[in-house]
Chains A and B, each alone.
Chain A
Amino acid sequence: MTLQHEVLKEAFNELIGIVGPERVSDNVYFTHCYPSELLIRYGVELIRPPDIVISPRTTKELSQVVKVANKYKLPIVAAGAQLALAGGVIPIKGGIMVDTRGMDRVIEIDKENLLAIVQPGITVEKLNARLEKVGLFYTDMPGSWTISTIGGRVSTNGCGVYAPKYGRPIEQVVSLEVVLPTGEVVRTGPRKLYDSNAGYDIMHLFLGDEGTLGIITELTLRVYPIPEYRRREAWMFPSHTILLKAIRKFLTIGSVPEMLLAHDGLGWTSYVWNFYQDYLKEPLPEIPPYAGMLLIGYGGKKEFVETQMKLCGEIMEEFNGKRLPEDLTEKWWTARLGKPYNPWQTVTWDAEKKYRTLLMPPCHVPISKAEEFVNSYRELAKKYGLSMWGLQTWIEGPNIHPCTIHPAVLYDYRKEDERERARMFKDEIARIAINLGGGIGGMFAPGLLYVSCIKDEFEPNALKLMKKIKQLIDPNSIMNPGKKFSKLAQRARVKRNA
């Protein structure tokens, strides 16, 4: 099938001129594969798939592509690995889909300044493979580290296991090169320095923006030496509430764990299912569904790590925590940070779970309100008759006390009433988070699924300012329409693409 409109045809021909015929396509077999977001493709009605898919390799190519889009006023959406759970790269008005995964070069590793300069399409895994050779590592480590691209990570600002010590993806960025919606290439500051006080801090405008203000083409990232010693432990608490109290306590004593993951029993079971199936080849142990499970690790000089670990252990015991066997913990971490880790092996799931889709609102609340929020989640899931996938709690950075909580549920995407109930659940839980003084952009950017809640999170003047910024940078509103604030997107429903 070819493009319907003359405009698209002309734009398509110009794009072939830029990247050659092999890396651009208007064939339905290409366009209908986008977006392939994790689980979301069953969750949101696609208003219109892209008309053209393109894979540029350089800043120059991408800048020309954006110029074409701007010239013909075609919507343009930049995508990485498309793994988010919120529909951030779902093109709702068609147009051009830029697959940035072709831009995957490491431009420079600066060992002296502890910096790495990369293109946005490189995966966390490939970057780390290169860094490892010189004894360094990149600290943003999501579960999907083998596929997540750096560009996607900073544009949606997820959270990784090393966040408690090193912070989230956007905190790793020192400098950016961005293609603006008009096609100009902008560098946000010195290439190897984070220097915002001299002018306005424009760099942060493009981080977590979901590609609505520009497309990142080069990033300078902070990297760190691999700690000489690491130790990890796992603890079980009588309840998730008590676990949160323990976390709050040890965050106040100045202890900075390198990694931390907190689940309830259900969430833990969901995530380690694959580990038990594939590695230990034994059934999962019985863990009470509402128990608190904490996975914690320290890294650095051995004496330092052991001291902190001991102090941490004392606090855990104070809150009735039980230490899990060390070899199991070590195996679990190895699996979690190893390549074969994959919690999404639906084939191995129970029959009734196989077709369930995960709905994981990225809520974050102040840690003092976490218990209240967790209780609401359980009540709501019961009220709407949705099966709980469990909780996952993240501490977002050193000495940062708000915490991200994923109140995840599963719903059968094939059943219409269940989809509707899931939609009501997500709206209500988002409202609860906002009312508790939190928000909906915690773990990742709200994408299409939670965009309707954004207006509740900010006061009108803040929203007005944001809209002005968008209009200034993107006068034709071509970049990733429907995200952040759009009337169109608010009509998107949790409905299967049918």
Chain B
Amino acid sequence: MLEKYVDYVLMCSGCAYCLPMCSSFDRFKLEPYGARGLMTIARLILEGKLDLTIIPPDIIYTCPNCGYCDTRCRGENTDVLEALRADLVKKGKGLPKHIGFGEWAEKGHNPYYEPHEERFAWLPKIERKIPKKAECIYFAGCTSAYRIQSIAKATVNVLNTAGVDFITLGEEEWCCGSPLLRTGQRYLAEELAKHNLEAIERTGVESVVMSCAGCYRVFKRDYPKLGLKPDFEVLHTTELFRELLSEGRLKPKKKIEMKITYHDPCHLGRHGGVYEPPRDVIKNISGLELLEMTWIKEETRCCGAGGGVKSGYPNLALEWAQARVADAELTGAQAIVSACPFCQRNLSDAIETYGLTPSKVYDISELLAQVV
């Protein structure tokens, strides 16, 4: 895998503009944890001067793949990291915790060790619509389906209120493959990707909307890289909500009096370029006062959960989430709003563990469901 990036690796000028907001460099303060060090490592491996199999796993697996470095040099640093992880997994040196959920994702189609049949247990039986031609598909994603079901429920409520003719894939919805791609288990992800695309294309529906920023990134950016081009429109819920609001299909009827701040999920913002739709939705809810943090949009501080860190190094993920909550606290907001179940989960975990303020984390869909 790494050989694919030889040109890119040699191009790195070593300017280190990738480092200022790098979570793992900021934590360890040693060169190999930043993208510049990683490029040096990749170059030396490619030149045959270092042996990949003896690499200390911490260097490779503590990066949450937030992609800050990529925005600074318009580069592909995270892709190089994922290639390195893929090569390591191929040599049998993957992180045991990652390999564990990878194996389950292959069998049970989710990375949470949950039974596949219960994926849509949160949805009343009556609403589990049979696959048919519809306006769009709601792709809930594993985290909303198994861990933070309030997001999925809220989204369904909002879609129903707006009169959107939508279906779910039911048991045909498998993990999108994001956790596998991020942790170097690419060969497993390909199978999941193929299945999801086929299942969606069978319904003939032209757009798919998803709650999870991770799923969104994978459909938009990674499937095409695997040679699988989705033949339908991929939307994040915030994009659809904005559309529904501007078309007048959704009309907020109530007010929520609250000061909030918005956390850009890396996979939605930096990787997907979706910065404005969630903010526009927030502006449409009267009573909400949006107070921006210092580090937003392209320079967002990662919540710390991505890239397999939440499973591989849970304490590290909490530490980083703590830093993000501290950013939010400085704004004086009463709650953090995000658009990614995984960010929400990690930030909430940190708040609970360390007793931080603001004490609440909401998904945009949850707030919207309250007012429409």
Contacts and interface: CB of A to CB of B under 8 A. Distances in A.
Do chains A and B interact in one complex?
A: yes
Among A41, A102, A129, the one with the most B-chain Cβ atoms within 10 Å of its Cβ is A41
Interface in B218-260: none
Contact of A144 (B15, B28, B31, B50): B15
A490 interface: no
A144 B73 contact: no
Contacts of A172: none
A343 to B, nearest CB: 8
A280 interface: no
A393 interface: no
B17 A147 contact: yes
Contacts of A104: 29
B56 interface: yes
Nearest to B43: A41
Nearest to B39: A36
B55 interface: yes
Contacts of B298: 340
B11 interface: yes
B31 A34 contact: yes
A194 interface: no
A172 B59 CA distance: 37
A27 interface: yes
A72 B54 CA distance: 29
B16 A147 contact: yes
Interface string B2-41: 0000001011111111011000000011111000110011
B97 interface: no
B74 interface: yes
Contacts of A147: 16-17, 19-20
B50 A28 contact: yes
A81 B73 contact: no
B343 to A, nearest CB: 22
B59 A29 contact: yes
A174 B13 CA distance: 34
Contact of B16 (A55, A83, A346, A355): A83
B269 to A, nearest CB: 14
A38 B14 CA distance: 4
B72 A340 contact: yes
A67 interface: no
A33 B40 contact: yes
Interface in A209-250: none
Contacts of B75: 345, 347
B32 A37 contact: no
Nearest to B60: A29
Interface in A132-185: 144, 146-147
Contacts of A32: 40-41, 44, 49-50
A280 to B, nearest CB: 15
B17 A146 contact: yes
B14 A29 contact: no
Contact of A29 (B29, B56, B71, B74): B56
B29 A346 contact: no
A147 B22 CA distance: 11
Contacts of A144: 15-17
Given A32-B50, A347-B75, A39 B14 contact: yes
Nearest to B70: A347
Given A339-B299, A348-B74, A354 B11 contact: yes
Nearest to A83: B16
B20 A39 contact: no
B108 to A, nearest CB: 35
A40 interface: yes
Contacts of A125: 20
A260 interface: no
Nearest to A277: B74
A344 B40 contact: no
A123 B29 contact: no
A33 B13 contact: no
A258 interface: no
Contact of A99 (B14, B31, B56, B73): B31
B242 to A, nearest CB: 24
A476 interface: no
B31 A38 contact: no
Interface of A: 1, 22-23, 25, 27-30, 32-34, 36-41, 53, 55, 81-83, 99, 101-102, 104, 121, 123, 125, 129, 144, 146-147, 339-340, 342, 344-348, 354-355, 357-358
Interface of B: 8, 10-17, 19-20, 28-32, 36-37, 40-41, 44, 49-50, 54-56, 59, 71-75, 294, 298-299
Given A53-B30, A355-B10, A355-B11, 8 more contacts: A27-B56, A29-B32, A36-B40, A83-B16, A99-B30, A102-B29, A147-B20, A345-B75
What are the 4 tightest A-B residue pairs by CB atom distance, in nearest-first order?
A344-B15, A102-B29, A33-B31, A33-B37
11 contacts: A27-B56, A33-B30, A36-B16, A36-B31, A38-B14, A55-B29, A81-B16, A102-B29, A344-B13, A347-B8, A347-B75
